[in-house]
Structure 1
Amino acid sequence: MANEVRISKLICTVLYLVHVNGYVFYGFGNGYRYLTKQLSNAGLFDASALSSVEAKWIEQPLDHFDENETRTWKMRYFENLEFWQPNGTIYLFIGGEGEASPVWLTMGILYELANETNGAIFGSEHRYYGKSMPLNNLVTDNLKFLSSRQALADLETLLKYVRSLPKFEKSTDSKVVLIGGSYPGNLAAWMKLLYPNLIDAAIASSAPVLAKKDFFEYLETVADDYEQHGTPECYDNIARIFQRYEKLFSSAEGIKLLKEEEKICEDNDMTKLENKQLFFMDKTSPFMIRAQYGNPAYIQTHCKKLANSSRVASLQQFFDDEPSFWREETECFDYDFYNMIDEVKEIDWAVSWIYQTCTEFGYYQSTNSDAHPFTRNIPADLYYKMCLGMFGHEFNEERINAGVLNTNKLYNGLTPNVTHVVFVNGDMDPWHRLGVLEDVSYEAPAKIIPAASHCRDLFSNRKGDPEELKEARKYIKYLIEKWTGFGEYTVD
């Protein structure tokens, strides 16, 4: 069981929740960082394989779409030619909202496919993340060059450069395959949409291709997971705990008791609406992480812990460079909204990703639904206030609406006009509610994996994989090798 819990935490996401607790950022986008931090402890890859990976740099235009902007910057990428033979397949594993890692090029379905198809493996780092920083992203005006459209053009430049290198230039039969999970899964599909002559096939894993401002369906799916896979009384126990929290907030005496029980910092004014909402974010996040990364056994274990409890344990800081509600110096939880904003403003990756949600995607996991037990204490407008607090008065709800509309118009939402893209989702993963769940066409199929979590198809714990997951991986490999015309791969 301990191994299953550990493995469940390794599954990728490139997607952060825009929540601001040490674990609350775990969700959409930060999964690659989450994965990289834990891989060595789980023994899922041979560290010696990293010797085959080389970090490289390529010059990119600051703005691909303005000929009057002449500034450039250096983008980092990784290369692994361990399996490369002339006319093998060229694979690009797309980085997202976090620092890229060479580990990505040494494991999982990408590594297996490269081994089977004499492939060259590349990994990209997204602009404004990791070491690929065009400008100081702590200055809001500099962030106007951060967008998915600019990132896709970066990938175009990188792939054209790779194809021009002497070792690949003569391999005219080599096909190009993109692989991405979560937000990079979006990018994989969108590259096939906008650059169809450059890309031969793509895997879009757990890709929320539909931008949505108020993503209340996220917590509905979390609730479904707990109702379906948890103990019989679990859903009611969750509702009981959250309703008690809500009742305590209704009186001064209740707030005093709550602050004592939950070790809330004495100077936090918990009558302020935003502070109360941050508290509910923190208490909801343990359920989110188990639904997004877990499995049925993981949820069952959590349910048993809640059976006789009157509270939900907070998740402590996980990454050293992540914001956390916990204050070590005073040994209390700080739920002050504006303290949180100040802290997040100092963290590069958090600033960049929140900017993208405010200008392109939304993805705000609210409680604006009655189909869950978490009460209605995380409204979408809390996130709108975060955009305003982070970037200024122009980043209001109207701008978020416009960004979401433009994104869906550019990429066609749930019906992208693509071929040779496989859309893969786990039905436990809350992000599947914004993904492609039905075949776009015969040449752009959708695959839903029962009881699977976020990006579970991309990485394996091998012996512990259920049969449905093993069969899904075989199917994905079959499609990629069929579409690229490499070998005679068949599904057993």
Structure 2
Amino acid sequence: MFFINVLSIALATCVYSTNASFGFGGTYEFLYEYQNGQFDNRSIDNDIEIKSKWIQQPLDHFSCNDQRTWQMRYFEALDFWKPGGPVYVFIGGESEADPIFLRTGMIYELAKETNGAMYLSEHRYYGKSKPFPNLNKDTLEYLSSTQGLVDLAKLITEIKRLPQFRTSKVVVIGGSYPGNLAAWMRLKFPNLVDAALASSAPVLAKKDFHEYIETVQDVFKKYGTPTCYSKIRSSFERYYQLLQTSNGIIQLKKENKICHNTDMTRPKNQQMFFMSKSSPLMHAVQYGSPESIKQTCLKIVNNTEIQISGRLLLKYSVQNKEKGCIDYEFERVMNSYANHPVIIPWFYQTCTEFGYYQSTSSLSHPFTNMVPPQIYYNMCTYLYGSTFDEARIDFGIRKSNALYGGLKPNVTKVIFVNGDMDPWHRLSVLDHLSQDAPAIFVSGTSHCVDLYSDRPFDPQEMIEARRLIKKTIKYWIGI
């Protein structure tokens, strides 16, 4: 066994022995949105041979007495590898790991240009990498970024044990929450990870993340039209006014197909309604482009429903197919999440580590004040129990920022990349930390766009940013 410094104190971790010496010093949306046109199909290499593999991991890396294990899934592609080539690890996050990320994009191009090996990890509790079949407050006890980082360390260690990779440099790549993990792997395991790309990484844990909604406003103002923004504001103000009277509630329920048994006088139900109505606009910004925002605005101005493809993590409502209506009753919505494979584990991480709650507590947005941060605290206690209260959220956030350094992580050879359209940039590193920890900020781009291959509609600034990223990583690993 070996020892890792955790939380800045000496703490033993019980994992398999290694020859290396280590120092261990998310969205409610997620990256896997290629269905929404993020990838250019012409750039996808379907000839890449990808193998699905498994590695045994300790359930609790920080307990020497707990001998339980589980199977973690990962993917391997060696089509481009030649002796002496580097190892690239694309870090999976709060969703099932998708091998398409080894067929295109930044990791694919780096591996092709440097004769590298490609790996894709799957985060514990997501996809098929589940320590327990059921998800609840008891089985989720072993879900954390710290456990996930040591999972990655063990995976990379096992890869480096293979004779062909013993002298290979290791580069980790991640976007969104996995972008955090990429930066933190370099921070905590500098002798194992040689360089990292942290794309759209919200490394600052924050409870009341009202800046998210502020950025949604900024994007619609900058890339939309005055008429569009005014209509968004007037629509949400009208929702608010309708909720003030019984006749108004009747009208609201009729217009929005709300189930008759949904009590829209309850604040929690009203908050779920407003979250549901703002979520598509948030999604349109986070995964949008200047052109897509213009198209969204055309739909808004023409009073047609905004159609959002891809997967929305939280819908804040229940579709009652039998009655043909939408239910916003807080308890029924929460119960519908039950064993949801993404919502239950990811929201648990927000309740215990990160916060990231997209409230309307700021005045700089068009959505009224109907989504206070308290609704998220209520979700935590309802889903996981009374001990998961605001105090516990505060504790987890303080612990995360103390452990990882917030906006000032003590790292080198990490590139932080963000776009001005991405609301998550408000929690990321935007200024150079040092010459060896640069930040790239690109206008007219959104969440994790740098991880894709060049697309016809990408701004020239992003194309140049991708070239700079590759050039910097190659320099850091001596190629």
Alignment gaps of 5+ in structure 2:
1-25
Contact 2:40 2:455 in 1 (8 A): no
Once residues 387 and 303 of structure 1 are traced to their aligned partners in structure 2, the CA distance between those partners, rounded to angstroms, is 34
Structure 1 residues 32-58: Cα deviation after superposition (integer angstroms, max 9, x where no partner): 2x32x45799624446335x1000000
Contact 2:286 2:422 in 1 (8 A): yes
Question: For residue 298 of structure 1, what is the aligned residue in structure 2?
Answer: 292
Contact 2:39 2:452 in 1 (8 A): no
Once residues 321 and 184 of structure 1 are traced to their aligned partners in structure 2, the CA distance between those partners, rounded to angstroms, is 16
Once residues 88 and 219 of structure 1 are traced to their aligned partners in structure 2, the CA distance between those partners, rounded to angstroms, is 43
- Out of 233, 237, 259, the residue aligned to residue 239 of structure 1 is 233
Once residues 303 and 319 of structure 1 are traced to their aligned partners in structure 2, the CA distance between those partners, rounded to angstroms, is 21
Q: Say how many residue pairs are matched.
A: 453
Cα distance change of structure 1 residues 266 and 379 upon mapping to structure 2, 3 Å threshold: same
Once residues 370 and 290 of structure 1 are traced to their aligned partners in structure 2, the CA distance between those partners, rounded to angstroms, is 21
Contact 1:264 1:332 in 2 (8 A): yes
> SS of 2:127's equivalent?
coil
Question: For residue 221 of structure 1, what is the aligned residue in structure 2?
Answer: 215
TM-score where L is the length of structure 1: 0.89
For 1:233, give the aligned amino acid: T
Report which of the two has the higher share of helix.
1
Once residues 40 and 441 of structure 1 are traced to their aligned partners in structure 2, the CA distance between those partners, rounded to angstroms, is 31
Cα distance change of structure 1 residues 445 and 40 upon mapping to structure 2, 3 Å threshold: closer
> SS of 1:358's equivalent?
helix
Query: By how many angstroms is 1:101 displaced?
Result: 1.5
Once residues 421 and 231 of structure 1 are traced to their aligned partners in structure 2, the CA distance between those partners, rounded to angstroms, is 37
Does residue 196 of structure 1 match 2:194?
no
- Out of 361, 377, 386, the residue aligned to residue 368 of structure 1 is 361
| 1:275-424 superposed matches below 5 A | 275-307=269-301, 309=303, 313=305, 325-424=318-417
Structure 1 residues 275-303: Cα deviation after superposition (integer angstroms, max 9, x where no partner): 11111011111210111011111112222
> SS of 2:467's equivalent?
helix
For 2:225, give the aligned amino acid: T
Query: By how many angstroms is 1:216 displaced?
Result: 0.2
- Out of 68, 71, 74, the residue aligned to residue 68 of structure 2 is 71
Question: For residue 94 of structure 2, what is the aligned residue in structure 1?
Answer: 97
TM-score where L is the length of structure 2: 0.91
Structure 1 residues 398-424: Cα deviation after superposition (integer angstroms, max 9, x where no partner): 000000000000000000000000000
- Out of 454, 472, 477, the residue aligned to residue 479 of structure 1 is 472
> What is the aligned-residue RMSD (CA, Å)?
1.9
Identity %: 51
> SS of 2:214's equivalent?
helix
Once residues 255 and 314 of structure 1 are traced to their aligned partners in structure 2, the CA distance between those partners, rounded to angstroms, is 23
Query: By how many angstroms is 1:318 displaced?
Result: 5.3
Contact 2:73 2:129 in 1 (8 A): yes
Cα distance change of structure 1 residues 176 and 381 upon mapping to structure 2, 3 Å threshold: same
Question: For residue 7 of structure 2, what is the aligned residue in structure 1?
Answer: none
Cα distance change of structure 1 residues 294 and 440 upon mapping to structure 2, 3 Å threshold: same
Query: By how many angstroms is 1:461 displaced?
Result: 5.2
- Out of 142, 146, 159, the residue aligned to residue 145 of structure 1 is 142
Once residues 308 and 292 of structure 1 are traced to their aligned partners in structure 2, the CA distance between those partners, rounded to angstroms, is 22
For 2:214, give the aligned amino acid: E
Once residues 308 and 319 of structure 1 are traced to their aligned partners in structure 2, the CA distance between those partners, rounded to angstroms, is 25
Structure 1 residues 427-458: Cα deviation after superposition (integer angstroms, max 9, x where no partner): 11000000000111110000001111000000
Does residue 164 of structure 1 match 2:161?
yes
Query: By how many angstroms is 1:233 displaced?
Result: 2.5
Contact 1:282 1:315 in 2 (8 A): no
